[in-house]
Structure 1
Amino acid sequence: MRQRLVVMVKEPRPGRVKTRLARGIGTVAAAWWMRHQVARLLRRVRDPRWEVWLAVSPDRALRSAVWPGDLPRVAQGGGDLGARMGRIFSRRGDPSGSPTLIIGSDIPGVNRAHIARAFRALASHEAVIGPAPDGGYWAIGIRRAPPAGMFDGVRWSTGHAMADTLASIPSLRVAVTDTLSDVDEPGDLKIPADP
């Protein structure tokens, strides 16, 4: 039973990625930050204990040269974030129920230890969620096929996203793992002070 880590990525094109961040730093800078953030994140999370897949948006960017050529890719498809993640969970292609963990690509602090803890939690729980301080979450995983109604009624990009997601899966035993910050706004960027 091979564990699968799926990283949600969006093609780093100015004006099409990290639009809230771009309002403060500009569209080119936001796209540049995202492109380099994804490259750093993929270096930090690759590990022989799990497969790393990319869930790519928009679908036409599936063949983009910006993504590492050795990683399997799947199109996210349309709909809101819940529809896209639900599709990823539903088409894992493994009837045995290999654990699948989905993470965002805008989590600068994530590393192998965080991923390993989330997968360990899935050994004894049906789902796992990694909170973000803003009320959302950086990771969600399930051990088997997703239940009907997963992600129904979730208010995405709000401080209610995690609570709404948990409310959508009341029948699952859910573990809560590490809290990590994502980058949505310019204030979320950690810029070191000059020495």
Structure 2
Amino acid sequence: MNATRSPRILVLAKAPVPGRVKTRLCPPCTPVQAARVAAAALGDTLGTVTASAARARVLVVDGAYVAPPGWETLAQCGGPLGERLANAFTDTPGAPAVLIGMDTPQLSAAQVDAALAPLGAAGGPDAVLGPAVDGGWWALGLRDPGHAEVLRTIPTSTSDTASRTLAALRGRGLHVHLLPRLRDVDTAPDAHAVAALCPPGSRFAAAVAADVPVRTGAAR
């Protein structure tokens, strides 16, 4: 990997304030429980990225949150999510960037490195995209962050967000490398399923066990 072109990683997140995060967990969670789950997910995500090979790490946050040492903090800018995603890239210009969220706390440092590596390799793809089980995406990386402009007009949180994103990138003539499909955390069943994939010592798994009730007869 060319050190002068090492991709940076951006983590888009909300400060874990009750009533503002993980609202789809309520019910069965209370807003306070949902915020504890969100805090754990964010903590695990930041820890994983810190342990990865990323040399430049930026927390793009909505609200007040103290990032770990070695991180830059940038306030989210814009209204709809598509705008905030695009601005996260364009507000950190000058190098390839990979953006992830706080909803895949099962993510490993090796998976982060696998998302970064293609963009740091000479002759590699123009973009990487990690689709999510629900039709969205968990990671997007761009060799040229300016291509994030496509995100401004793509509906988010739909069953075809990832496919639309892929089509828009390819429509610009970009070579896109697809990453493995992961499940992100929106609902209580998601939370239990993802917690089962987390490594020992996961804060998220512990928070789910303590704060996300299992409804009788509900699938985990």
> TM-score normalised by the shorter chain: which range applies?
0.7 to 0.9
Q: Report the counterpart of residue 85 of structure 1 in structure 2.
A: 85
| C-alpha spacing 1:25/1:112, structure 2 compared with 1 (3 Å) | same
Q: Report the counterpart of residue 129 of structure 1 in structure 2.
A: 129
SS at match of 1:146: helix
Deviation for aligned residue 1:16: 0.6
SS at match of 1:106: coil
Find 1:57's aligned residue among 54, 62, 73: 62
**Contact 1:4–1:52, Cα closer than 8 Å, also in 2:** yes
**Contact 2:93–2:145, Cα closer than 8 Å, also in 1:** no
Q: Structure 1, residues 44-88: CA drift from partner, whole Å, max 9, x if none?
A: 221344322100003xx2xx44x3354210011122222111112
Matched residue pairs, number? 185
Query: What pairs up with 1:1-195 in 2 under 5 angstroms?
Result: 1-46=5-50, 47-58=52-63, 61=64, 64-65=65-66, 67-94=67-94, 98-122=95-119, 123=121, 124-147=124-147, 149-169=149-169, 170-171=171-172, 172-190=174-192
Q: Structure 1, residues 121-175: CA drift from partner, whole Å, max 9, x if none?
A: 3231111100111111100010113237411432211111101212222121111
The runs of at least 4 consecutive aligned structure 1 residues that moved more than 4 Å come to: none
Q: When the two structures are superposed, what TM-score results if normalisation uses the length of structure 1?
A: 0.86
How far apart are the structure 2 equivalents of 1:68 and 1:115? Answer: 17
Deviation for aligned residue 1:187: 0.9
**Code of the aligned partner of 1:175:** H
SS at match of 1:168: helix
SS at match of 1:134: coil
SS at match of 1:118: helix
Higher helix share: 2
Deviation for aligned residue 1:180: 1.2
Deviation for aligned residue 1:33: 0.6
**Contact 1:152–1:168, Cα closer than 8 Å, also in 2:** no
How far apart are the structure 1 equivalents of 2:149 and 2:189? Answer: 34
What percentage of aligned pairs have identical amino acids? 35
SS at match of 1:32: helix
| C-alpha spacing 1:180/1:138, structure 2 compared with 1 (3 Å) | same
Deviation for aligned residue 1:22: 2.6
Greater Cα shift, 125-134 or 143-152 = 143-152
**Contact 1:137–1:162, Cα closer than 8 Å, also in 2:** yes
How far apart are the structure 2 equivalents of 1:49 and 1:7? Answer: 12
**Contact 1:7–1:103, Cα closer than 8 Å, also in 2:** yes
**Contact 2:103–2:185, Cα closer than 8 Å, also in 1:** yes
SS at match of 2:189: helix
How far apart are the structure 2 equivalents of 1:33 and 1:68? Answer: 19
List alignment gaps of at least 5 residues for structure 2.
Answer: 197-208, 210-220
**Code of the aligned partner of 1:185:** T
How far apart are the structure 2 equivalents of 1:70 and 1:22? Answer: 34
